Amino acid sequence: MKVELYKIETLSNLHVGSGDINFGVVDNQVQRDAITGLPSINSSSLKGAFREFFENMDDTKNLVEYIFGPSNGDNNNHQTGAYSFFEASLLTRPVRSNKKLYFNATTPDVIKNLLDTIDNLNIDIDEETKKALQDFSNLNVQNSKPLIFEDIKGVILEDYEASYQNFDTSKIEEFLGQDLALFSYEDFKTLELPVLARNQLENGESKNLWYEEIVPKKSTFYFSIAKPTNLDEKDKEQKINGFENRFNNEGSRVQFGANKSIGYGYSKVTKVSKWAKKE
């Protein structure tokens, strides 16, 4: 098996619901990692979104069944798909600022978890980028003092006064984005997600008002897919490359989660790692 790394950039607000009953102020909450408590996208939600993406294309039936397995309606076929999807973890999220539209916030702990994923799954990525991520994750961030890397005075990020740190982010901006801000883990995990009011109307009359948590647009996630390597060149061209080519370079637009009809969940997916030929 070969494991590849992908990045999701949300082009619109995202709501992948947790499905849990909630008796608090927010009715519909997003999925969260059970350990970190940060927003995530479960493996099954990822797999379902990708399956729908490919099923809407012409001449991809064999590819779809190979990657994802038979459709749910095929009760006589108990095979599983050849690809194994791993949960998507939050990488960066936008935070409001008094100096720019937003900064892309993350935390050393998130970057270290990413690097652990790369090492543990033997993912092949650019070594220069990997080294820059390691250096970035080793920066010392104090509570209530997020770091920015452009010498701008008086920057406020949400309710935090930022400090300038001299660090060259050019080698990681393609992956993490520009205008980076590094928060302590304690502060990062307490940044609140936007909550939107939703209203059901019947004949112009309000029948049901509820509140829905969203991951804001311009947030990014990373996830991995494990793929077989024991294919002949013809099958590799049709199946592996048929999937890979959709997410190279400019990537593809995939819709994740609920509320497609009101523009939620539209995201750009790009492959980060490099495909290595089987030895």
Q: How confident is the model at residue 277 (pLDDT cuts 50, 70, 90)?
A: very low
pLDDT value, residue 278: 38
* More confident of the two residues 100 and 56: 100
Q: What is the pLDDT of residues 16-66, one digit of tens each?
A: 987 665 545 566 889 999 999 999 999 999 999 999 998 888 766 778 888
Average pLDDT, the chain: 88
DSSP 219-235: -EEEEEEEE-----HHH
What average pLDDT does this structure show over 125-152?
Answer: 95
Is the pLDDT reported for residue 228 higher than 80? Answer: yes
Residue 261: how many CB atoms within 10 A of its CB?
6
pLDDT digits (tens, 9 = 90+) for 55-79: 888 766 778 888 898 876 555 555 6
pTM of the model: 0.90
Q: Compare 236 and 142 and report the one with higher pLDDT.
A: 142
Alpha helix locations (H) across 86-172?
108-120, 127-137
Checking if the pLDDT of 95 tops 90, the result is yes
Q: For the chain, give every domain's residue range.
A: 93-192
What pLDDT band is residue 81 in, cutting at 50, 70 and 90? confident
Average pLDDT for 165-189: 96
Would you list the DSSP string of 191-227? PPPPEEEEEEEETTEEEEEEEEE-BPTT-EEEEEEEE
**Long-range contacts (CB closer than 8 Å, 24 or more residues apart) made by 110-113:** 110/38, 110/185, 110/188, 111/136, 111/137, 112/137, 113/36, 113/89
Whether 238 shows a pLDDT value over 80: the answer reads no
Q: Which two tokens stand for residue 108?
A: 């050393």
Coil vs helix vs strand at 185: helix
Q: What is the mean pLDDT of residues 81-86?
A: 92
Nearest to 272 by CA among 178, 173, 175, 176: 175
Query: Helices 43-55 and 61-68 meet at what angle, rounded to 10?
Result: 170
179 in Cβ contact with 170 (< 8 Å)? no
**Out of 7-11, 224-228, 237-241, 269-273, least confident range:** 237-241
